[in-house]
Amino acid sequence: MKVRVTVMLKEGVLDPQGKAVEHALHVLDFKNVGEVRIGRVIELEIDETDCERARAQADAMARALLANLVIEDFTTEVVG
Amino acid sequence: MKVRVTVMLKEGVLDPQGKAVEHALHVLDFKNVGEVRIGRVIELEIDETDCERARAQADAMARALLANLVIEDFTTEVVG
Amino acid sequence: MKAAIVVFPGTNRERDMAIALRGVAGQAPTMVWHRETALPAGTDLVVLPGGFSYGDYLRCGAMAAHAPIMAAIREFAQKGGHILGVCNGFQILTEAQLLPGALLRNAALRFLSQDCFLRVERNDTPFTRHWAKGDVFRTPMAHGDGNYIASADTIRMLEDTNRVAFRYVAEDGRVDAGDPQLNPNGSMNAIAGVFSENLRICGMMPHPEDLVDPLMGGEDGKPLFTGLVEALVG
Amino acid sequence: MSAKSPRPVDAALAREFGLTAEEYGNVLSIMGRTPTFTELGIFSVMWSEHCSYKSSRAFLKTLPTTAPWVIHGPGENAGVVDIGHGLAAIFKMESHNHPSFIEPYQGAATGVGGILRDVFTMGARPIANLNALRFGAPGNPQTRRIVDGVVRGVGGYGNCVGVPTVGGEINFHPAYDGNPLVNAMTVGVARQDRIFLSAAAGVGNPVIYVGSKTGRDGIHGATMSSSEFDEDALAKRPTVQVGDPFVEKLLIEACLELMATDAIVAIQDMGAAGLTSSSVEMAGKGGVGIDLDLDNVPQRERGMTAYEMMLSESQERMLIVLRPDRTEQARAIFDKWELDFAVIGHLTDTGNIVIRHKGEVEADIPLAPLADQAPVYHRPTAPALRPQPMEPIIDPVGVEQALIRLIGCPDLASRAWVYNQYDSTVGGQTVRRPGAADAAIVKVEDTEIGLALTTDCTPRYCRANAKLGGAQAVAEAWRNITATGARPLAVTDNLNFGSPEKPEVMGQFVDAIAGMGEACRALDFPVVSGNVSLYNETRAPDGTSQSILPTPAIGGLGVLEDVRTAVGLEMPDGCDVMLLGE
Ligand SMILES: Nc1ncnc2c1ncn2[C@@H]1O[C@H](COP(=O)(O)OP(=O)(O)O)[C@@H](O)[C@H]1O
């Protein structure tokens, strides 16, 4: 079972990468792009058949390692 | 309209970061994690009301800048 | 030789490069700002120096590859101009598809600042003519993303057509791509630098410009610059 | 006067803001009325330990700070010494201990960013960074995470801005388990006739904001770093600042470009307590008033209040007073470097700082008493508990085994795994890299001059005897510099101690300064800049709090007239070995 953990910077935390990409997209003439935020995805192959259990495990992994809860939030979803 | 672009290394390209996370998760006793792959998400605020057009634009941005098609694949989805 | 050093926001080894070029050419190179749309008239050599253009955010070199000056550099390349890209400059050249392949995060996932040994793979180019084929020289490296990668076809093509410029090796010239001591960033086939098809564009990760003065520990990097000056003079 | 305070301003709120009852009383008498919420915020950060040095100021004054080659001692953003040929070295060390515990990567990174700004704000191009680090016991699982984050953070920021990291030191001890020390030092070089100071002058002159936009980052960071760590620290987490070394690099280049003109009257970075401390200090030092209109402050988030903008610790920002009619010239430079630029106010003759926001006056504080009546404490001291003298050492393993153990122990093992993550060669002027000499040697571009740089302190000596330990740290820095052939010129320091409210910690502090002062005087090695970090404590589950080892880190700087004469550690073949000293 594949679970995807998406980690984004918390609301309000400076996102230097997003800011730079936003600027670059404007330079490339993509004028109607507003805010850009950049995050990480971690795709986990979990040996588990139950969706809920798989997500719960991904959740625990995100808390323990994958996200830095000081500045980041995360979401988990089963993708396959 | 918010579009999310997810960029992952192409199948077959070694992902040392994924490997390192996989190893760290095993050390943390998350035993039933198999392969781990790490990618990037870029959330774009696009000034556009039509889903298809927003996605098409995100697609163009991914091709132009957000992904390096030599080593990466990407997907786009409207998220809000 | 008239050299032009391109400066992007975040470039940080432009002065190192200028010192190295000035030292051998006796003439200070021109600094060209990324927003320019033309190269100085009579430019013989374009150099893309090291640094963190646009913070190396997103992917190293990705945003710089779209800077306004790049159109002029493409045109210069098409006309057979000589271009040297070092470190971030190499990354920019691959992102701009002026050189094949890509540079991923170092295999050990850490920034590496240390000396390494490079082997010269051919010496019939303006970049390598002051070495002999097989020469090994020492040079500092300082990067987080120097792990050279390309498709199997591309690697085969590079090898078959002799377009590998430099390889990471042991001091005695031995290659072992699987040994992190010898191939510190994990590059495929221990590739440290490559040439374009016409051999006029060269990209490499380590910094020969930082080893051109005995005071800083040696002159091992100097032949690259003396060779270029000799080839491109007049 | 605006009264849209989110909470009534009273003694209880003042206490929450970290002001004592007596301090709040002084605020009331200075203001002659109840302060606004924003005013209270300004007083609380300006009078925090971090900004006011209230526990340490009286003792710091005893350190020697002058010598014929000292151009600016403590009091400016960094110390300035004459290195010959019309050039000056500008340097300082600063701590980012508390943020580095909460978020090691960003804490260390923004520490490097902050000290870089202190140096280039004076007109110097930064040419070298050093870092003095102390971590908890190697066996503590937290230590690994903190070491990893801190080292990546130092490298991530320094490598990106393109300033070589050429030296530092690392110790491990359980006393740092919940409170690592991250002390970053930057050295820059400027022409002596182009040194920029922070005292504002010229009524009517425009006040300019440049750099990154302001967000709600690190609000009350300055007061946090002055209070002990405890569970609450967790709740304060989202206030961690994120650094943007890319913007810092642009800011360095843009400021140096502007500094090559004569447009600047005064300039200061926005460090701890951001806009508050920079505007208050600039106007205060110049004896003028300052009027700021916060509507013009570039903002990253919507709906920020005056209080939030004044206290935000968003990184990579500077405040500049320009000569009249130079605004457009300056704007063009910052536009070129794609940085935010805004005129946010002007100097006045009122002697007050006046903060306007959305048409209301949010603060109006007389600057002279804000500075002059800042609290100064002579806190009680007590002799520190010293460890028992060591028993005679019986050789349990034999000399060879002992040597092997020593080489492998955490405090002596090779540091290559750390400094190999730091770009030590960028700039092309690094003559002796980390590990190659007792002090790092960096050449000053286009001259024959070399600078010898080192950081030193042995905390366990300081715990055994703070006075001797303080003196020893200075002496070691001096020796490391002389060993390269350089002439020692001056030091910067970073005094890291526990809570000054514990008499025995205060005793260590006072003794260490006495020892440092003695050594500095004896060696003609004055202190030209520095930083104090107190309240380095960890609260144990049983409610007690443990102080760190007394750690007065010394950053030393020396000069070589001819850098080619520098001596490293490498021993050429066929040399005789001689032992000097007793
Ligand atoms: N945190 C650090 N950053 C950069 N260099 C460091 C750091 N810690 C130690 N070094 C370098 O490693 C070398 C050895 O360190 P150390 O054992 O403390 O040396 P010494 O005992 O000679 O002062 C020195 O050159 C020092 O500058």
Q: Are strands D206-211 and D317-322 parallel, antiparallel or unpaired?
A: antiparallel
* pLDDT at residue D65 greater than cutoff 50: yes
Residue of B15, B68, B72 to mutate when probing chain C, most C C-beta within 10 A: B68
Candidates C215, C220, C222, partner chain D, best to mutate (most D CBs within 10 A): C215
Answer yes or no: is pLDDT of D224 > 50: no
Structure confidence by residue, pLDDT tens digits, B41-80 = 999 999 999 999 999 999 999 999 999 999 999 999 999 8
Instruction: Report whether C47 contacts C7 (CB < 8 A).
Output: no
Give this prediction's pTM.
0.94
User: In whole angstroms, how large is the CA radius of gyration of chain C?
Assistant: 16
Which tokens go with D67? 């010598």
Instruction: Give the pLDDT score at C158.
Output: 98
The tokens describing C36, both together, are: 């320019």
Give the model's pLDDT for residue D4: 59
CA distance C192 to C182: 11
Crossing angle (nearest 10°) for helices D274-286 and D37-46 = 70
**Residue segments in chain A with a per-residue pLDDT below the cut of 50:** none
Looking at residue D238, its pLDDT comes to: 53
CB of D430 within 6 A of ligand 1: the answer is no
Quote the ligand 1 centre to D170 CA distance (angstroms). 7
Q: What is the pLDDT of residues D388-445, one digit of tens each?
A: 788 888 877 888 998 999 999 998 999 999 999 999 999 999 999 999 999 999 999 9
pLDDT per position as a tens digit, C112-121: 999 999 999 9
Owner of token pair 């004592």: D20
Cα torsion D490, D494, D498, D500: sign: positive
The amino acid sitting at C82 is H
Smallest CA-to-CA distance from D133 within D101, D161, D159 is with D101
CB pairs under 8 A between A and B: 96
Give residue limits of the domains in chain B: 2-78
Question: C89 pLDDT band (50/70/90 cuts)?
Answer: very high
Q: What is the mean pLDDT of residues D85-107?
A: 96
Residue matched to tokens 């000034």: B47
| Model pLDDT for residues D253-269, shown as the tens digit of each residue | 999 999 999 999 999 99
pLDDT of res. D387: 76
Q: Is the dihedral of CA D60, D63, D68, D69 positive or negative?
A: negative
**D411 and chain C in contact, CB less than 8 A:** no
D131 lines ligand 1 (CB under 6 A): yes
Homologous superfamily (CATH) for C3-232: Class I glutamine amidotransferase (GATase) domain (3.40.50.880)
Please indicate whether chains B and D are in contact, defined as at least 3 beta carbon pairs under 8 Å: no
Q: Which CATH superfamily is B2-78 part of?
A: Phosphoribosylformylglycinamidine synthase subunit PurS (3.30.1280.10)
Residue D229's pLDDT band, with cuts at 50, 70 and 90, is: very low
Q: How many CA atoms lie within 13 A of D197 on its CB side?
A: 17
> Shortest CA distance to D511 belongs to which of D468, D555, D547, D479?
D468
Residues B54, A41 contacting (CB under 8 angstroms): no
Tokens 């090779």, located at residue: D414
Out of D66-75, D229-238, D316-325, D369-378, least confident range: D229-238
Q: Is D298 in the pocket of ligand 1 (CB under 6 A)?
A: no
Question: CA dihedral defined by D24, D26, D32, D35, rounded to 10 degrees?
Answer: -30
